[in-house]
């Protein structure tokens, strides 16, 4: 029997761990871990800092114990490699520390003092002799402008972001504050700006950091009595990208240090890019002096993608992956998933997985089955766009004709039925429904609904239209 590699062993451990912690905790505390070696029953893993090691030992030791025992048996042991920066800046210093697991894993204490010679612990932010150009910008190289689909929902933010990338610190968009709900592309756009800056101006020092990580680093710096070095490091950055800045809410000391970093960067014409799930005015628990600075530049919101943008996103992903999917299926997904880009791409990936694993052809029926499971745990609302498509398909009338100003009887009935079902089946306001149906006002929508109800009571054929369309909509 072939012996498992340390990577396979750790991957198996991660599968168990993932089922026992939240996604955010898994992403924060387990994804950064790298397995190094396996010798006998000793698994060695690398963690990025002493603080990281202490957190694992204090908070997840029981879970680690169970998973290691399951993979390596009762004699399992764990060792840590902790990466610390050395004074030369050429190689990371790696401290090999036995876990509390080093005693027989069944009887290990939860806390164990770490005996590291403090003289070898180096400040993790300033490395003497290290050139700024060598700082890893921490950018996701797949999040580029080329892979970012532009639409009405994100045009302002995308245009401003590109302008900033061409002249960081030299535009009026400083800071650039990008906000919007989850899965709308804030992180993608922020990374795209950083990547473009590095491509155009490689001498610029760019750094992407999440607000959560920024706060953790700050706490770490205070523990090591290196607050000044922490501040000096961040003040040396040319383009600072702080993601999910709303996580600084309620953290007064972190806000205070960021305030001074922000002031220094802005005064020296360095670029600051911030992302948040809320507009500055809606962030609670943030100091007013910081909020006022967030408004100095441009605040650009990202909205839920419209139908055309959703279709473009799906087409781009399909083309990139080199796969073929019937357009009717792509259209069905675009009409069904309206909330955000992440869910849209997730639905496509789930469909591909269903098709591949079950060896089924990708069809509308398979897409319907997949979407039923994909959104089973959420309240699914039919979109106005999809209602219009179903109604227009039923009468064989193009959507753009339905939205036109024509007063032909069949067109007017189609438009009125679209308004009627949109009012019945969505939470949209009358004004929003009217806007989708050819920029009509709310009074027109009310009149349409009243007309449909009257015709349903007096015209059997029209009542049949309503019944047929309702069946098609409830099957989605």
Would you identify the CATH topology of the domain 6-120?
GMP Synthetase; Chain A, domain 3 (3.30.300)
Is 70 exceeded by the pLDDT of residue 330? Answer: yes
Residues 6+ apart with CB under 8 A from 66: 16
Is 70 exceeded by the pLDDT of residue 123? Answer: no
Tens-digit pLDDT profile for residues 209-229: 998 889 888 888 888 888 888
* Distance (Å, whole) CA 64 – CA 66: 6
Residues 6+ apart with CB under 8 A from 439: none
Is 60 exceeded by the pLDDT of residue 131? Answer: no
Residues in the chain: 476
Most confident range, picked from 287-291, 337-341, 411-415, 428-432? 411-415
Q: How confident is the model at residue 332 (pLDDT cuts 50, 70, 90)?
A: confident
Whole-number pLDDT of residue 283: 83
Q: Return the domain boundaries, the chain.
A: 6-120, 134-302, 307-374, 384-474
Tens-digit pLDDT profile for residues 442-466: 888 889 998 998 888 888 888 888 8
Q: Bridge-partner residues for 273, per DSSP? A: 176, 241
Is 70 exceeded by the pLDDT of residue 53? Answer: yes
Residues 6+ apart with CB under 8 A from 446: 430
* Distance (Å, whole) CA 242 – CA 293: 14
Cβ–Cβ < 8 Å for 309, 341: no
Q: 169, 150, 166: which is closest to 158 by C-alpha?
A: 150
Tens-digit pLDDT profile for residues 383-427: 788 888 889 888 888 888 888 888 888 899 999 999 999 888 887
Is 70 exceeded by the pLDDT of residue 95? Answer: no
- Max distance between CA atoms of the chain, in angstroms, equals 90
Q: What is the average per-residue pLDDT within 23-47?
A: 84
Whole-number pLDDT of residue 160: 87
* Distance (Å, whole) CA 208 – CA 300: 19
Q: How confident is the model at residue 80 (pLDDT cuts 50, 70, 90)?
A: confident
In this prediction the pTM is 0.51
* Distance (Å, whole) CA 345 – CA 343: 6
- Higher per-residue pLDDT: 127 or 259: 259
Q: What is the average per-residue pLDDT within 125-148?
A: 67
Cβ–Cβ < 8 Å for 357, 387: no
Which CATH architecture is the domain 134-302 placed in?
3-Layer(aba) Sandwich (3.40)
Which CATH architecture is the domain 384-474 placed in?
Orthogonal Bundle (1.10)
Q: Do domains 6-120 and 384-474 have the same CATH topology?
A: no
CATH number of 307-374, picked from 1.10.8.60, 3.40.50.300, 1.10.238.10, 3.40.50.12780 = 1.10.8.60
From residue 403, alpha-carbon distances to 388, 390, 455 in Å are: 10, 14, 21
């Amino acid at each position: 029997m072939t012996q498992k590699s340390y990577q396979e062993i750790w991957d198996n451990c991660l599968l168990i761990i993932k089922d026992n912690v939240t996604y955010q905790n898994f992403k924060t505390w387990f994804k950064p871990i790298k397995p190094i070696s396996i010798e006998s029953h000793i698994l060695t893993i690398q963690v990025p800092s002493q603080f990281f090691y202490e957190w694992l030992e204090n908070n997840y030791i029981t879970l680690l114990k169970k998973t290691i025992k399951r993979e390596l048996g009762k004699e399992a042991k764990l060792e840590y490699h902790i990466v610390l920066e050395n004074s030369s800046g050429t190689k990371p210093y790696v401290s090999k520390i036995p876990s509390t697991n080093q005693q027989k894993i069944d009887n290990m204490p939860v806390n164990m003092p770490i005996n590291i010679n403090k003289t070898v612990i180096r400040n993790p932010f300033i490395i003497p002799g290290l050139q700024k150009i060598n700082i890893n910008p921490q950018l996701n190289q797949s999040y580029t402008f080329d892979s970012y689909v532009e639409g009405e929902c994100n045009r302002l933010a995308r245009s401003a972001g590109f302008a900033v990338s061409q002249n960081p610190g030299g535009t009026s968009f400083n800071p650039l504050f990008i906000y919007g709900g989850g899965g709308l592309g804030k992180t993608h756009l922020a990374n795209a700006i950083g990547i473009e800056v590095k491509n155009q101006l490689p001498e610029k020092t760019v750094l992407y950091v999440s607000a959560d990580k920024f706060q953790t680093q700050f706490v770490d710096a205070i523990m090591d009595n290196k607050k000044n070095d922490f501040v000096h490091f961040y003040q040396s950055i040319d383009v600072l990208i702080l993601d999910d800045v709303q996580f600084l809410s309620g953290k007064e000391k972190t806000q205070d240090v960021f305030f001074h970093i922000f002031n220094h960067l802005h005064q020296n014409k360095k670029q600051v890019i911030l992302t948040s799930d809320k507009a500055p005015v809606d962030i609670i628990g943030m100091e007013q002096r910081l909020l006022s600075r967030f408004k100095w530049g441009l605040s650009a919101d990202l909205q839920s993608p419209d139908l055309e943008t959703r279709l473009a996103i799906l087409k781009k992903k399909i083309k990139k992956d080199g796969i073929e999917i019937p357009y009717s299926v792509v259209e069905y997904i675009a009409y069904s998933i309206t909330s955000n880009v992440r869910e849209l791409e997730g639905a496509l990936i789930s469909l591909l997985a269903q098709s591949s694993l079950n060896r089924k052809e990708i069809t509308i029926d398979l897409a319907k089955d997949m979407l039923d499971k994909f959104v089973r745990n959420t309240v699914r609302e039919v979109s106005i766009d999809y209602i219009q498509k179903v109604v227009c398909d039923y009468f064989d009338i193009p959507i753009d004709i339905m939205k036109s100003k024509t007063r032909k009887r069949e067109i007017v009935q189609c438009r009125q039925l679209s308004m009627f079902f949109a009012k019945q089946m969505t939470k949209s306001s009358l004004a929003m429904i009217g806007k989708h149906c050819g920029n009509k006002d709310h009074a027109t929508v009310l009149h349409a609904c009243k007309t449909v109800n009257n015709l349903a009571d007096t015209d059997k054929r029209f009542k049949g239209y309503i019944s047929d369309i309702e069946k098609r909509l409830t099957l989605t």
